[in-house]
Amino acid sequence: MRARLPMMIQDPEISQTDVGRMVEDWIGLDQEHYLDGPVTPRIALVDLDPDTEALRPAVKFQPPAGSRTLGRYAANRNAVESRAFIAVSAFATVWRTVKLFEEERTLGRTISWGFDAPQLLVVPQAGWLENAYYERSSHSLQFFAFDAGNKTIYTSLSRDIVAHETAHALIDGIDPDLYDALEPQALALHEGIADLTAMLIAFDSGRLTHAILDKTQGRIDVSNAFSSIGEQFGDAIARGPKPGFLRNLHNDAKIDPRHEEIEPHALSQVISGVLYELIVDMHEHFKDVYAPRFGGDRLKASGLALAVAAKLFQRMVLRGIDYLPPGEVTFADFGRAILAADEASPGDRQWGAKLRARFVERRIVADEATLDVRTNFESPPVGAVNLQGLTDSEWVAYRFADGNRDLLGIPADAEFEVLKRVVVDGRVQAPEQTAAQMSKRAQPPAAGEPADGAAAAGDTTPDPDSGTPFRELLFKVRWSQVEDNPPGFDPPQRRVQTGTTLVIDWNGRQVRALQRPINFEERRSARDAVLSDLVDRGIVEICGPEGPAHGAPSPAGIDAVATGGILRVKQTARLLHVVQELDA
C-alpha cells in the first residue's frame, strides 16, 4: 500500500515568501501497514501533549477506497499549525530523508538504527524550547516549539530541521562511533553531514528548487535558501540582527592550525562549507553541459543541472560515511573516504580532483597527496574468503580478522571487535541516466497544475534498469587504544576507539578500499582539548564505575567513567543538542 503524505516545502516563512505555497505531497513507498499515528514499523509518531505529556489521539489513517488508490492521513493541509498536520508533515519529512539515504544509487540498503531497535520514535511537539535533537538513548527525534514575538515556531514544521535531525539518526546507524567521539572533527562531521542532508532534502523538492533558482538567477554560489539552514529558527533565536539562517553552508571557514575550533557547530562549517563548494562546482559544470538543451540558456538549464548535481553529490558524500573507518576520525579521513568510495566506483574522476584542491584551500590537509587512497586492488586473503560466510558467521569474521591483522592494521596484542557486516546493493548512475530521470521534475511546474498534484511528489527513486548495479561488503573492525590524558588530569589515561574499514567488491572479489585514520596519534591534543573543555565547563562529571555523583546522570547526559585509572567518554554527540546558550 502507498500513501500520499503532505509535508512542508520549507519552514513556514521560506515556503510562504519564496515558494508561495506551504505544502507539497510526497508519495510514501509501499508499506505493509500504515497505522494511525502515523506509525509504520520503522518510524512512529508519538504525539505527546507538550504541556501535560498526555498522549494525544493518533492521526487516523484512511486506506485507499473507491477511485482513490493512495492511502492518506486525516490532516488538513490548509492548517499547517494543526496538531495533525504537524505530525504528518514531520513523519513524511523523516521518511523522505531516510529514503534519500537508502536509495539504491546512494547507500543501497536499509539502515539499522544506532540504538539496536527497529523503530525510530518522533515526538513532533516535545515541549517548549529553542531546540530539536536526535537522542540515541530514547530512540527518538524530539522537536520543540517556542514563542518568538507574536508567533510560535514549531521546529517540526521546518523541513531543514527535521531532515537535519533525521540525518543524525541515520549517521548514528551507519557510524555509531561518531556519536561517542572525543575528536572535535568527528562531532563536527555529524553536524556538517546533517546540514548537508537538509540541503539535499531541499533539492529534492522540485517546487522549492525552481523557486529559489528563479530568485538567484540560477545560481547557488551565493547565499540562498539551500545554503541557509534553519532560516526561520535562526532569525527567531537571534538576539541581535536577524542573520537569515542558523548556519550558512556558503562560507569560507577554514581550519586554523594555531587555534583549532572545537565547538562542533562552528567547526562543522568547515566541512559543510568545503562540500558546498563541491556542489557549486558540479552545478556550474552541469549548467554548461545541459545549456544546449535549453537553447544555450544556462538559467533554464540550472534546474536540471542542480537535480543531477544533487544526486551525484548525494552519492559521493553519503557513501563516504560508509567508507569511514570506525572510531575517532577527522575531516581528512572523511575526505579520503569520499574519494575511496568514488574512485572505487565507475564514473568520471573530475570531482575527486576538485575535492582535493578544496580540502587544501580550507587547510583541512596540507597537500593533496595526503588524501591519496588505493582502490580496487587484489588481496589474496580477500580473494580466498567465503564472502557469504564472512557476512553471516561471527566465527568466520573473527577468524578472518585475527588471521589478517597486518592487512587490517590491528595491533598484535589488541582485543578487537568485528562490527556487523553490511552488504550494499547499489547502483551507479551516469549523469546522463540521472538527467533522463530527473528531467521531468526539472521542468517548471505547468500553469494550472493542481496544488496537490502528483507532479510535486518528488519521488525520485531511480529507474530499476538505470545505471550499473554493484554489490559490496563493508567489513569493519574496531579496537580501543589507551592514550594519556593532559598532564595533571585525573585519571591519567583514557580509552579511545579506532579501527579499519575493508570494502570488498562482492563480484570481483577485490578490495575496493582499505581505510584507516591517517593522523590518529597526532590528533591526541585535539581530543585533549575537547576533554578539558567538557570538564572545565562542568558539562561532564567524571565518575567511577558506580555512577555519577548526586545520584543523577551527568548534566549533559555525556558519560565519563573512570575504571582502573582509565577514562572512557561516551555520548559526546549530545553536545550537538545545544543550538546556543540561552541569553549568552
Partner 1 sequence: MSDLIVRAYDVRFGDAIFVSVPDMENGQLVERTILFDFGNSLGTEGGADAVFEPVIDDLIARLGGRPLDLYVMTHEHLDHVQGLFFSAKTFNKRIHAKQAWLTGSSDPHYYDGNTHPGAKKQKIAALAAMRLVGARLTAAQAASPFVGSLLAVNDPKATADCIDFLRTQLTDPGGVHYVDRTTDLGPLWTGPGTIELLAPEANTADYYGAFKGFASGLGKLGIESFDDLDGIAPTSPPSAPPSGVDAGAFYNLLDVRHGAASTLLEIDQAANNTSIVLLLEWKGWRLLFSGDAEKRSWRMMDARTQLAPVHFLKISHHGSGTGLPPDPILEKVLPKPAAGQPVTRRAIVSTFPNTYRGVPDTKMLTSLGDRVQVFSTRDEPHHPFVELRFPDTGPG
Instruction: Give the one residue of 519, 548, 566, 568 binding partner 1; rule: CB under 8 A.
Output: 548
Is 194:214 a contact under the CB 8 Å cutoff? no
Binding mask 555-574 for partner 1 (x = CB under 8 A): xxx-----------------
Q: Report if residue 35 touches partner 1, rule: CB under 8 A.
A: yes
DSSP β-bridge partners for residue 154: 145
Q: Report if residue 580 touches partner 1, rule: CB under 8 A.
A: yes
Closest CB to partner 1 among residues 116, 432: 116
Q: Report if residue 552 touches partner 1, rule: CB under 8 A.
A: yes
Helix or strand holding residue 304 (H, E): helix 298-323
Name residue 321's amino acid: I
Can you tell me the distance from the alpha carbon of 578 to that of 1, in angstroms, rounded to the nearest whole number? 39
Is 121:133 a contact under the CB 8 Å cutoff? no
**Cβ of residue 55: shortest distance to partner 1, in angstroms?**
4
Q: How many residues bind partner 1 (CB under 8 A)?
A: 67
SS (H, E, C) 165-204: HHHHHHHHHHCHHHHHCCCHHHHHHHHHHHHHHHHHHHHC
**Cβ of residue 582: shortest distance to partner 1, in angstroms?**
7
Instruction: Give the one residue of 36, 214, 260, 452 binding partner 1; rule: CB under 8 A.
Output: 36
SS (H, E, C) 70-94: CEEECCCCCCCCCHHHHHHHHHHHH
SS (H, E, C) 356-380: HHHHHHCCCCCCHHHHCCCEEECCH
**Cβ of residue 51: shortest distance to partner 1, in angstroms?**
5
Can you tell me the distance from the alpha carbon of 401 to that of 418, in angstroms, rounded to the nearest whole number? 8
E-assigned strand segments in 491-577: 493-505, 510-515, 559-563, 566-570
Closest CB to partner 1 among residues 485, 500: 485
**Cβ of residue 138: shortest distance to partner 1, in angstroms?**
4
Of 166, 92, 156, nearest to 124 by C-alpha is 156
Binding mask 98-137 for partner 1 (x = CB under 8 A): -------------------xxx-x-x--xxxx-x---x-x
Kindly tell me the number of DSSP H helices and DSSP E strands found in the chain.
16, 20
Closest CB to partner 1 among residues 74, 451: 74
* Site for partner 1, residues 445 to 504, rule: CB under 8 A: 488, 490
Closest CB to partner 1 among residues 136, 523: 136
Closest CB to partner 1 among residues 45, 186: 45
**Cβ of residue 5: shortest distance to partner 1, in angstroms?**
17
Instruction: Give the one residue of 139, 311, 358, 527 binding partner 1; rule: CB under 8 A.
Output: 139
Q: Report if residue 549 touches partner 1, rule: CB under 8 A.
A: yes
Q: Report if residue 149 touches partner 1, rule: CB under 8 A.
A: no
In sequence order, the 6+-apart residues with CB closer than 8 A to the CB of 327 are: 177, 181, 478, 496, 497, 498, 499, 517, 520
Cell matching residue 22: 506551504
Binding mask 515-544 for partner 1 (x = CB under 8 A): --------------------xxxxx-xxx-
Q: Report if residue 150 touches partner 1, rule: CB under 8 A.
A: no
Q: Report if residue 33 touches partner 1, rule: CB under 8 A.
A: yes
In sequence order, the 6+-apart residues with CB closer than 8 A to the CB of 487 are: none
* Site for partner 1, residues 293 to 312, rule: CB under 8 A: none
| DSSP code at position 322 | H
Positions that interact with partner 1 (CB under 8 A): 33, 35-37, 39-41, 44-48, 50-55, 58, 117-119, 121, 123, 126-129, 131, 135, 137-140, 142, 144-145, 147, 152, 488, 490, 535-539, 541-543, 547-557, 577-578, 580-584
